[in-house]
Structures are given as C-alpha cells and as structure tokens.
C-alpha cells in the first residue's frame, strides 16, 4: 500500500482518506522515500534523549479513556521519521495521543482502529498549542500496548541501556 502523506488522517467523518485501521495507513515497502530507520539503524529522532523524547514528563502522567476517532501519521519535529498518533474523543475533549515511531508501532500485535474504545496512560503535553498525551501504555480490551517505562524511556530504545 502507499504511505499517507504527513498529517493526512482518517477521521470519523471519512475525510482526508479512506480506511479504518492503523495498518492501512502504515503498510511499508522497502526503499519507500519515507521509510524510517528500524531498530539498530538509528531512532529517527524518537530516542529518549532527543528533544521530542524529553517532552515526556513523569510528573504529568494521567490515565484517560475514550473512543478512537482517527489514526494519523505525523512528523513531530523537523528531521524526525514518521510517527503515529490517535485522535481520541474522551467525552470532554478530543485528544491527540502520540504513540511512537511508525517503524515500531507497525510491528506490534495490538491493532488500533477507528471506533476502538481504549484506555491510555501517558504524559500530558501541549503540542502545537493543543492538548496531547505522549502514551506510555494503551489498553484495548484485554490487550496492552506498552510503549514507555515509568520514567518515560521508550521501549524501542531501552535495549541500548542494558
């Protein structure tokens, strides 16, 4: 499948593209111009010590729940590889939930799709002037997608610290 341009999304009203799941957005092909480096070839700017990685603050961790109304691809900072975030309707607000680098998320066993009811634990930040959570953990039914430890160190970069 083709990759979706930066910030193109699939939302509840069907605008900005078609499809219902994250997998439809990020199916990759080798050599694609936007294919991000995988583990062992750099973090694409997603490491714990990067400017973006330092946005996670354990003092602002909260847990919220809601319904996924969109799955989006984003490039959080210039020079970073593509990442994935969800738009979640919590009933009080529409919240951007930043998951992590596309190259990591697309290889996980917990599919996240529009219409899913999820619980998210993460650090509340302001991103581009809007509220967001940098996710540490996403629960969908009995499935858990673990993304960061309690200090905010991403699981995709933790192997370097051993």
How confident is the model at residue 159, as a pLDDT? 54
Does residue 81 surpass a pLDDT of 80?
A: yes
How confident is the model at residue 24, as a pLDDT? 36
Q: Give residue-wise pLDDT tens across range 19-71.
A: 344 443 333 333 333 434 433 345 676 767 777 888 899 999 999 999 999 99
How confident is the model at residue 148, as a pLDDT? 93
Residue 104 to residue 37: CA distance in whole angstroms: 10
Q: Give residue-wise pLDDT tens across range 119-146.
A: 999 999 998 899 999 999 999 999 999 9
Does residue 91 surpass a pLDDT of 60?
A: yes
* Domains of the chain by start residue, with CATH: 9-29+60-161 (2.40.50.590)
Residue 73 to residue 49: CA distance in whole angstroms: 22
How confident is the model at residue 51, as a pLDDT? 75
pTM of the predicted structure, to 2 decimals: 0.73
Residue 87 to residue 95: CA distance in whole angstroms: 6
Q: Residue 4's CB: how many other CB atoms inside 10 A?
A: 21
């Amino acid at each position: 499948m083709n990759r979706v341009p930066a910030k193109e999304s699939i939302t509840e009203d069907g605008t900005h593209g078609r499809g219902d799941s994250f997998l439809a957005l990020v199916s990759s092909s080798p050599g694609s111009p936007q294919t991000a480096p995988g583990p062992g070839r750099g973090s694409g700017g997603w490491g714990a010590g990067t400017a973006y990685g330092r946005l996670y603050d354990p003092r602002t961790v909260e847990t919220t729940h809601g319904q996924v109304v969109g799955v989006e691809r984003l490039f959080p900072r210039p020079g970073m590889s593509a990442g994935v975030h969800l738009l979640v309707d919590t009933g009080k607000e529409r919240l951007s939930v930043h998951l992590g680098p596309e190259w990591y998320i697309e290889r996980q066993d917990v599919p996240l799709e529009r219409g899913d009811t999820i619980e998210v634990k993460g650090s509340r930040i302001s991103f581009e002037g809007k509220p967001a959570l940098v996710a540490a953990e996403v629960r969908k039914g009995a499935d858990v997608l673990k993304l960061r430890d309690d200090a905010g160190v991403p699981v995709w970069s933790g192997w370097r610290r051993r």
